[in-house]
Structure formats: structure tokens, C-alpha cells
Amino acid sequence: MMMVEGKKEKEKKGKALPDGWRWVTLGDITEVNPRRSSDLNQSDEVLTTFVPMPAVDALSGTIDQAEIKPFGTVKKGYTYFEENDVLFAKITPCMENGKHAIARNLLNKFGFGTTEFHVIRPSQSITPEWIHFFVRQPQILQDATAYFTGSVGQQRVPKEFLENLLIPLPPIEEQRRIVAILSERLAAVDQARRATQAQLEAAQALPAAYLREIFNSPEAQTWKKKPLGDVADFKNESTLQVTKKEKDC
């Protein structure tokens, strides 16, 4: 399926880029969903990296919980990729949520994952990081929703969206320089996010800690204890009401 160049793409091409940069389509400088290597001959017992969708951290854009499985259990019916390929979640809402990562630290330099990944294999003219940072931009992910195919709840981004996606391409050394700056700044943001999360979890734990302190205190041990039913009335609720409350939780 070919996609007609839209207004945004024409506007991008009309924008001036720094000297040495140029506009290209992702399909010009990468291979999207490349074929599996024909010489991939492995024993079924060989341990192999497997990446289900939950293994990708949507906030950091990294694989943080890869699984290890025997080659024989994953060699068919899953998406094949190699070291330094970029994995792009194609199904909603994973795509919009940022479930995209660079395949790194793979056993034997290859792996398999959910069929809901597109695989983007860089050429020598572009780094995996440059692709990864570019396609994870909120605007790019929002634009991708306009190309969804499939039924509601099972909509996916076709590979043609990625192949026709315009991307600015600086010289390889300039890519590496910019990527290094982005990586450093994003690492600082991630560190701040984790510190904030730790503080939030500590704050959320305080009420429970205070209650334990009160009800487990030496003074509390001297209090008289009675069944709750002796000092409180309970009202019956319909199954529908209970179900709704559980859902709201």
C-alpha cells in the first residue's frame, strides 16, 4: 500500500536544514520488517532472548524485563530481530504509550518478540538511537494514528507509515553528538522521575505506618477487643453495586 505524500511532508521538505543535513524517508535508509536470516540454524535447546510487550518500559523506551526461552519455543510465530534493531509497537494503545525500544544485549545477537512489533533495521548512514529518539516523539506517534488499519480495539500502524516517514538526516558523527546530549539529559530526567516516584510511594505508605504505630502500641494492647459486628451495623448491598465499586477501584 502506497501512501500519498501529505501536506505536512511537503512542508517538512520545504524547511531548511543545517549544512550537511537532508530529508529522507525512513524506508530510504532502513529496512522495515527485514526477513529472518536464512542461516539461522540453532539447536532447539539454545537459550534465546524473547521480548513480550510488557518487557518494554514505555517511559524510558528500553527493554527492562526480557525473557529467556529455548529457541525451539520461539522460532516460529514470533517477530525476529537482531542486535541494534529498533522495535516499534504497532498496536494501539501500546504505540501511543511509547512501547518502542532498541534491541540490545540479546543472546547470540538476535531475539524474538511479540508479533505486535515492527522492526526497523538501520543502515550504516543512521544510528539506532537517532531513529529511536525520532519515532518516539509525541507528534510522530499522534500522526501515526491517522494511518491505523483494522477494527476498533485492534488497530495497528502499517509498515508503510514508517517507510514513508520523513526524517532529517545529519552526518553520522553529528547524529552521535546529538544523541549523546539527548541521552545525558534524558538520563537526568529519568533519575528525577525515579526519585519523585520513591518519594510518592513513601508518602503513600505513611498513613498505614501511622495506623500500625497506634494499633500496635503498648497502650493499644490494654484496650478491650470486641467483634466489629458488636459495635457497628452493616448494610447489605446488591451484587451490582459491589461490582461497580470493585470496577471503580
CA distance 120 to 134: 12
Cell numbers placing 46: 539454545
Is the sign of the CA dihedral 191, 194, 200, 204 positive or negative? negative
Whether pLDDT at 85 is above 70: yes
Q: Name residues whose C-beta falls within 8 Å of residue 248's C-beta, 6 or more positions apart in sequence.
A: none
Task: Give the three-state DSSP class for 67.
Answer: strand
- For a pLDDT cut of 70, what percent of the chain falls above it? 86
pLDDT above 60 (res 245): no
122 vs 85, 97, 164, CA distance in Å?
7, 23, 15
Q: What is the pLDDT of residues 19-42, one digit of tens each?
A: 999 999 999 999 999 999 888 889
- Indicate the pLDDT class of residue 2, thresholds 50, 70 and 90: very low
What is the full DSSP assignment across 175-213? HHHHHHHHHHHHHHHHHHHHHHHHHHHHHHHHHHHHHHH
Per-residue pLDDT tens over the stretch 168-185: 999 999 999 999 999 998
pTM of the model: 0.74
